[in-house]
Structure 1
Amino acid sequence: MTGTVLGVTGQRVVSDDEVTRAGCHFFLRHGTITMDDLAAAMCVSRATLYRVTHGRDRLLGDVLWRLAERMLAEAVRRRTCDGVDGALEVTQRFTGWLRADESFRRFIATEPDVAARILLTYAGGVTGRVVTAQQEIFKEVGLDNASADLAYLYVRIIESALYSELVSGHSADLGVAERAARTLLLTGC
């Protein structure tokens, strides 16, 4: 049973997907995830929750990605341009929503070290997913020649401003990052 863990006798069976969904709801309400409180809300033991998730960092990465994936899909759906302008339009809409999201802002403010680890390293599982999604967005807008390396650099440019407070301790101008990303796309595609 891949993705499903049987709890100790008397406890219910929970899947990785169930935990991620519950984690999303918990995160949206609290701006974080505490394993004890999530386990209680799901009526499972903390040990069962850890067996399913393999740890809080992995669960946070899965939750943040699932929430971001929904926002990205909606930003792509609302896109009105193609090419470089289309890619940047999706990015602007997504980053605007992300910056406005109260639970996300609370998480970054209260747990900056955890947020940096989850969002900015491959260990968090988010970066690879974002780069892959960005490649798909490039294809969607007609930038078929965009490589994985180009998508990685594009994402890192945007993240450098989006998460500048985590990295440098002060906010950066997202407009500067968008201009740099535009230049990268115009020269790299």
Structure 2
Amino acid sequence: MHYLKHSTIDMDLLAGELAISRATLYRMVGSRDALLGEVFWALGRIFLAEASGEASGTGPDRVIHVSRLFAEMVTGAQQLKRFVAEEPQTAARVLLTTGSDVHHRAVDAQLEIFEASRVGGEPADLRRRAFLYVRLMESVVYSPVLGVPEMDFDLAEPALRALLPA
């Protein structure tokens, strides 16, 4: 709720809102980046669930449909846009590196989407494909963090499809 209200996490303000000390807050969450990672993953999980619920069909077409809906939700999230504009280095660190669990969780979620869409294959191969798929999706939805203009999903779709087993 703090993030949605402020489009960021201010640890001093959050500690005050929770009526705890900053030291207690840091003991509870580890770091601001870790807390932001949890917030971004919670939002991402909501977007993925909504996109998965709206998508129909099976196979690669369903995977692409889920991805398109997810991309629309993320790129339309005003708080995330504001956060990325104001704190691009923090956004890159939290969203795109292994310093937080966001990327790892996204790969696991992509594997679940493959499974729900009945996209099969050898588990190790599917994990590698999911990793690459997520990296490409990150390029689409977080292009401002990467310092490029907003990426159109249609441009990425052929590459995304190429990562899906036939």
TM bucket by the smaller chain? over 0.9
1:147 maps to what in 2? 126
Offset, 1:124? 1.9
User: Are the equivalent residues in 2 in contact too, given 1:39–1:45 (CA < 8 A)?
Assistant: yes
Give every structure 1 segment of 4 or more consecutive aligned residues whose post-TM-superposition deviation is greater than 3 Å: none
Q: What are the superposed Cα offsets for residues 78-135 of structure 1, whole Å, 9 maximum, x if unpaired?
A: 1112110100111111110111111111111110000000000010210000000000
1:21 maps to what in 2? none
Offset, 1:173? 2.4
Find out whether 1:113 has 2:107 as its counterpart.
no
Structure 1 residues 11-26: aligned runs within 5 Å: 25-26=1-2
User: Are the equivalent residues in 1 in contact too, given 2:71–2:140 (CA < 8 A)?
Assistant: no
With CA pairs under 8 Å and 6+ residues apart, which has the higher RCO, 1 or 2? Answer: 2
Structure 1 residues 61-80: aligned runs within 5 Å: 61-80=37-56
Gaps of 5+ in 1: 1-24
For residues 153 and 88 of structure 2, the distance between their equivalents in structure 1, rounded to whole angstroms, comes to 19
Q: What are the superposed Cα offsets for residues 130-166 of structure 1, whole Å, 9 maximum, x if unpaired?
A: 0000000100000122611000001111111222222
Gaps of 5+ in 2: none
2:147 to 165, 168, 172: 168
1:20 maps to what in 2? none
Please tell me the root mean square deviation across aligned C-alpha atoms, in Å: 1.2
TM-score when scaled to structure 1? 0.82
Q: How many residues align?
A: 163
Amino acid at match of 2:149: H
1:44 to 20, 25, 29: 20
2:135 maps to what in 1? 156
Offset, 1:177? 1.2
For residues 3 and 144 of structure 2, the distance between their equivalents in structure 1, rounded to whole angstroms, comes to 21
For residues 40 and 3 of structure 2, the distance between their equivalents in structure 1, rounded to whole angstroms, comes to 9
2:107 maps to what in 1? 131
For residues 172 and 73 of structure 1, the distance between their equivalents in structure 2, rounded to whole angstroms, comes to 23
TM-score when scaled to structure 2? 0.93
Percent identity, aligned pairs only, is: 40
